[in-house]
Amino acid sequence: MSFNIENFKDILKQEFPGAHYEDGKLTRNEPVMCTIISKDLDSDPHYHEHIELIYVTNSELEADVNKKKIMVRSGDMLVLIPGDVHNYRLRNNCSYACIHADIDFLFSGILSNSDLHYSMPYTLAKKDEARVFRAAELDKTEIPKLIYGIFAEYKERNAFYKLAIRSDLSKIALYVFRKWNKYQEDVSKESTRSSGKSVFRLSEVLDLIDSEYMKALTAEQMASRAGMSYSYFSRFFKNSMGHTFSEYLNLVRIKASEKLLINTDLPISDIATAVGFSNTSYFISQFKKQLHITPKRYRTNFGND
């Protein structure tokens, strides 16, 4: 499932008004592009719908990624996911190897929409340094060798070179994604530790939301379940979960609606009712608020044919 950049262009334009969409580099016949950059020039902020891998071979470059500055030095690798707004400034005769790879070419049927659109961006937003893999770490892996092998295959273009490139890129991606998954687990554990006591007190409420989100649940009912006053429950829930009760309930309902949009042909209004929304317009507005796409467009893009 490819990353659909159209769903995010309006948001990216608002967040990064000076950035532009970079299109046209990759095609079905040319799903990978490998280049060596050694010109001492700056790039404009841009984004695209494929993965980009930067491996610095000499000196260093300064990267701006989603308004965060990152120094990438000789032997370091920077990994960018679809939708990342980025640009580079080369320093002291810097040179680097750059690989652009199409998502479908590498991961068709492997990465989910949730991985591409939400899980990875969320993890990277929580841990900026996760994008950079330092030389001291990479030197203990086969990644530098794999990168050189990819460039050799790309240049020589022997029989089945695309298969060889995909194999090597997949090994790099496996290393990267497992590292990111570990970061995500660490973030979750840290969050759980910091709010463990609070979540324990809310465990019955959270279990009830997970099992009965489609019903007309209210904060007053949940406060009673938790043995708290309404005002105290409201503050306690927000401090513990990072969302108000109604926001959290809507998050759960929207998540449930995604499955119905993908796996059923139910009308939007029926799906809204099935997950607990009494008003279809409100359901659509909440869906768009959370996922930056309408339910209809979501079904068109991601639904099973």
Distance (Å, rounded) from C-alpha 107 to C-alpha 113?
A: 11
Domain boundaries, the chain: 5-188, 213-302
Distance (Å, rounded) from C-alpha 259 to C-alpha 271?
A: 10
Tell me, what's the pLDDT at 290?
83
Tens-digit pLDDT string for the chain (305 aa): 455 666 677 777 778 888 988 876 788 899 999 999 987 666 789 999 899 999 999 999 999 999 899 999 999 999 999 889 999 999 888 999 999 999 889 887 676 555 665 567 766 777 778 999 999 999 999 999 999 999 999 999 999 999 999 999 999 999 999 998 888 777 666 655 555 555 567 888 888 998 999 999 999 999 998 888 999 999 888 887 778 999 999 999 998 999 899 889 999 999 999 999 999 999 999 998 888 888 998 888 776 65
Single pTM value for the model: 0.65
Q: What is the largest distance, in Å, between two alpha-carbon atoms of the chain?
A: 71
Residues 93 and 58 sit within 8 Å (Cβ to Cβ): yes
- Quick one: 5-188 is in which CATH superfamily? Regulatory protein AraC (2.60.120.280)
- Other Cβ atoms less than 10 A from the Cβ of 304: the count is 9
Minimal CA–CA distance to 267: which of 296, 240, 242, 246?
296
Under DSSP, the state recorded for 303 is S
Classify strands 51-65 and 77-80 as parallel, antiparallel or unpaired: antiparallel
Minimal CA–CA distance to 3: which of 136, 114, 147, 128?
114
| Per CATH, domain 213-302 is 1.10.10.60 | yes
Contacts of 175 (CB under 8 A, 6+ apart): 141, 143
Roughly what angle, to the nearest 10 degrees, separates helices 280-291 and 295-302?
60
Report DSSP letters for 110-148, one per residue: TS-HHIIIIIHHHHHHH-GGGGEE-HHHHTTSSHHHHHH
User: What is the signed CA dihedral for 25, 45, 144, 82, rounded to 10 degrees?
Assistant: -60
